[in-house]
Structure formats: structure tokens, C-alpha cells
Amino acid sequence: MILQALYRLAEREGLLEDLDFEVKPVAYLVRVGEGGRFLGIQTTKEFPAAEGKRRPLPQAKRFRVPREDARTSGDRAFFLYDKAEYALGLDPEADPAKRRLAEKLAQRFALFRDRARACAEATGDPGAQAVSAFLEAVAGGLEVQLPEDCASNDLFAFTYAPDDGTLVTERPAVRAYWQKLRGEGGGDGGFLCLVSGKNAGVPGNHPQLHVPGAVTSGVPLVSFNQRAFESQGWKGAENAAVSREAAEGYATALKRLLDRLPLSAGGVALPRRNLSLAPDTTLCYWAEATDDAFAGFLADLLEANPEQVRETFHSLWKGHPPTLSAAEAGAFYGLVLTGAQGRVVVRTWFETTVEEAVRHLALYFQDLDLAANAPPGKDGFRPPAVPLHRLLQSLAPLGKGEDIPAHLASQLVEAALWGGRFPLSLLQPALLRTRAEVGASSWADLQRRDARTALIKGVLIRNFGKEISPLLDPTNTEPGYLLG
């Protein structure tokens, strides 16, 4: 079961150590001193290392913050961190005509102040008291200017001067207060959790996930937003009961898989386990092995990047699976997700073993093996196989990434790792694009032509049992063959 496998991943990587908190990008730190003295706003945004030709956008540093349910409707302030509208009562929108009404901003700011005041009164913590005092000063007229590059969804958090940059929510008394709040109201609804087999309490909404292609506020993997999904008198999440711990556990694992720079609960860097297939579609994968080297190299194997792959795996590109050690064996999982308006679309989910995935990947490269007609790049490099992104781009008009058919990307990955047939629907766009680009002779055109030829060859071999050489057959005089 997909949720159980994700939950086990979260357990194995230590993602469940503190479910009352989660890691999020916080763009700005509001620094306050004793008595609520305002010391300024500090940005955390930095430019990451460039990937490719495009200049990267600045990224906010990630901090551990209190875990909050997503806002679905109505106003609700997060605990001691939030967007500028809540945390400071200010709208960063530059166009006055598009800014929120002052009454709405005042209402949201009041909700945020109420939570800060309740914490300060309950804990007596100097940091919480300083934040509350600062917020009351802002409400009383203290002027605060937002940074010029502030976006509407940028998060603000608070630091107390004596703590040297640590968030106020990390102070022991504040942490204990938040954990107590989170532990209240669980109850016993008599439901059994489908993931852990334990008491599910009263099932609630599943966590929101930020998946490419979905709305920026996030979408759930599991939801019951129509009466047609309900039965037996149950309502909403009661129809498939999952405890809050299990729901947050699998969601944390999925967030880790979707993250380009994942971190453990303790802030330790974890290996990346995703590959973008299309602008709105992502492959997530992981292995239950002591040595998950195959999972570590999978993205570079599919993209035919020999410099990043251990030499023992290079034979895969020639169609020969390497011999795996006992430590490398184990279950292997793959999940292709597309973001949609209401929920995450699971395009495919497969469970196999590392040994089988390696064997299937070798067959995949063997089926697509082709003597390229296109010249190598300017640096003289020719990849040992056709990279996955080039195969997918060859099916899109002029190779534009935003036009890659997501369903074909998913089916192609499934055939590569699970050993199924190539989708027959590959043939139509491959042939249509071949005809549309007849006569085009740029380097990119020739690369796409080779990629389409490899796909057509793969479909004919795997789906129809044809025997096709990677080289042209000089003895074949069939008009269709000669005309390409």
C-alpha cells in the first residue's frame, strides 16, 4: 500500500521524530529585543548554485516551524510565523488597486496577535513576550516597512535578540506550549488507522502537498470533497480513516521526496529522490535497502549522465544489468505525481525490487539503443544513451518542455522501471512530430529526430517482437523504410 510504504520511509529516515514541527522556507526574520524593541527585518534569501544556463531565483532558507493545517476557507493565523498579511498586517502587493482592504488586514493581524499574546501569557517566556509586545506596538502605530522584494506568499518568523538568530518557536517553553496545544482534542472516534493499524482517533483532513502544477496553497493526496465519495453514513476522512500521526508521516515523506534539497527532522541533508518529467509531473522513487546506491543514481542513469554514476552501473546503458550486493537488494518504489486543482493526481504507482528495476532498466536501454545520426555537442560529448528529457521533448512541438504530454512521460517511466510495454500512444506524436519537422536540420532538430527514432524502435521491439538493429539496414528496399 502506497501510504504504508511512505510511512515506513518516514520512519527509516527519522522524519517522524517531531511531527509537531516541519521544515519550511522562511524568507524574512523579524528581529525583536527585550520589551518588544524592533531591531529590523533580515532576509534569508540566497542564490543557489546554477543548474544549466538559466540564472537561479533566490531561495529562502528553511527553518523548523510549528506544523499547521493548511488554510482551506476563512481566516486563520499560524503560530508565530505567517505571511505578511497576518504576521505584520501589511500587504506586499505593489498595485494599490489589488491590495487587500485595510479592514481585512486588521482582522488577520488581530488573529496573529491573539495567538502570540496567548502564548506569552501562558508561558511567561521572555521571547514570546517580546514578540507579543512588538506586535501590539505595530497595532498601536509603530511603522514597519516590508522589504522591496517581498512576495505575497513569503513567510515571516520572529527571532529574539539574545538567542542569536534562533526562531522564538524553538525556545523550550514555546515549543512545549505548542506541543500541548497540538495534543489537545484528539479524542477516540473508534476508528482504526488504515496505515498503522492503531487507533485513528477522529480522522481529519489530510495535509496539503506542494506539487508542481498544483495551486500554490497545496493540494492533498487523499480527500473526500464530494458526497459521492462517502458511504455507510461516514463523513469526509472517516470513509478511509488515517490517524493524524500517519497522515502527517506519509505527507512528510512525500514532501521529502518532492524536495530538491530535502532535510531530515534534525536539519541533516538527505539525498534527492525525484526527477522532473514535465512542468507539472514528477517521478518520486526510493528503495528499502541498506545501500540504496541504485536509487541514488537513478535520475542520472535515466538522463545518461556518466560523470555522476558509479562505474559499476555504466553497463546498464549497454543493456547489461550489473551484479548487486546483498546490501543493495530490497524493495523499490516509484510514484509519478501530477499537480491538479483539487488534489494530487497519482499517474502511476509501482512496487518492485531493486534487482527487477535494474533488469528492466537494462532492457529499456537495450530496446532504445540507436546509432545516432546527430553529431555530438560542442564539447564533443555524446551521452551513452538517449537522455529521458530528450525522449520526452522529442514528442512536444519544437521540443518545448511545457508541452510534454504528462501521461506519456508517466507511461514511459513505468515501462523503463517496471518492465511493462511501451505505450502505443507514443507512436502517434512521434510520427506526427517527425513529419512536422521534415527538413529541419539544426543540432537540436537532429537530436530530437534520433530520440523519436529510438522511441519508435523501442515500441516495435517490445510491443510487437520485431528484431531491429541499432544501425540502418542497407539491404532493406521497402519504400516506407527508405523514406524514414
Per-residue pLDDT reduced to its tens digit, 258-290: 998 898 877 788 999 999 999 999 999 999 977
Please count the other Cβ atoms lying within 10 Å of the Cβ belonging to residue 395: 24
pLDDT tens for each residue of 318-351: 999 999 988 888 999 999 999 887 778 999 999 9
Q: What is the pLDDT of residue 361?
A: 97
**Cα-Cα-Cα-Cα dihedral sign, residues 161, 163, 168, 174:** negative
Check residue 191 and give its pLDDT. 87
Q: Give yes or no for a contact between 84 and 91, defined as CB atoms under 8 angstroms apart.
A: yes
d(CA 91, CA 309): 47
Contact 409, 389 (CB under 8 A): no
Helix (H, G, I), strand (E, B) or coil at 348: strand
pLDDT at 52: 61
Strand segments, DSSP code E, in 67-207 are 81-83, 155-160, 191-192, 199-201
Q: Per residue in 28-52, pLDDT tens?
A: 999 999 999 999 999 999 887 766 6
Tens digit of pLDDT for each residue in 102-120? 999 999 999 999 999 999 9
Q: Could you write out the three-class secondary structure of 250-310?
A: HHHHHHHHHCCCCECCCCCECCCCEEEEECCEEEEEEEECCCCHHHHHHHHHHCCCHHHCC
Exposure of 349 by Cβ count < 10 A (0-12 exposed, 13-18 middle, 19+ buried)? middle
Longest dimension (CA), the chain: 89
CA torsion sign for 362, 364, 365, 367 is positive
Q: Are 236 and 228 in contact (CB under 8 A)?
A: no
Question: Residue 324 carries which DSSP code?
Answer: P
Identity of the amino acid at 481: Y
Of 274, 322, 301, 221, which is closest to residue 2 (Cα–Cα)? Answer: 221
* Residue 479 in grid coordinates: 519504400
Q: What is the pLDDT of residue 296?
A: 93
Q: CA angle 298-411-432, nearest 5°?
A: 115
Per-residue pLDDT of the chain (484 residues; tens, 9 = 90+): 799 999 999 999 988 888 999 989 999 999 999 999 999 999 999 887 766 666 778 889 999 999 998 887 789 999 999 999 999 999 998 888 888 899 999 999 999 999 999 999 999 999 999 999 999 999 999 999 999 999 999 999 999 999 988 999 999 999 999 999 998 766 666 788 989 888 888 788 888 888 988 887 788 888 887 777 777 778 777 788 888 899 999 999 999 999 988 988 777 889 999 999 999 999 999 999 777 899 999 999 999 999 999 999 999 999 999 999 888 889 999 999 998 877 789 999 999 999 999 999 999 999 999 988 899 988 889 999 999 999 999 999 988 888 898 999 999 999 999 998 999 999 999 999 999 998 888 999 999 999 999 999 999 999 988 777 777 777 777 787 776 6
Q: Where are the domains of the chain?
A: 2-258, 274-482
Residue 186: the pLDDT is 60
What is the C-alpha end-to-end distance of the chain, expressed in Å? 45
Confidence (pLDDT) at 188: 65
Rg, the chain, Cα only: 26
CB 248 within 8 A of CB 47: no
- The DSSP call for residue 470 is S
Residues 6+ apart with CB under 8 A from 11: 249
Give the three-class secondary structure for 133.
Answer: helix
Closest CA to 453 of 380, 394, 409: 394
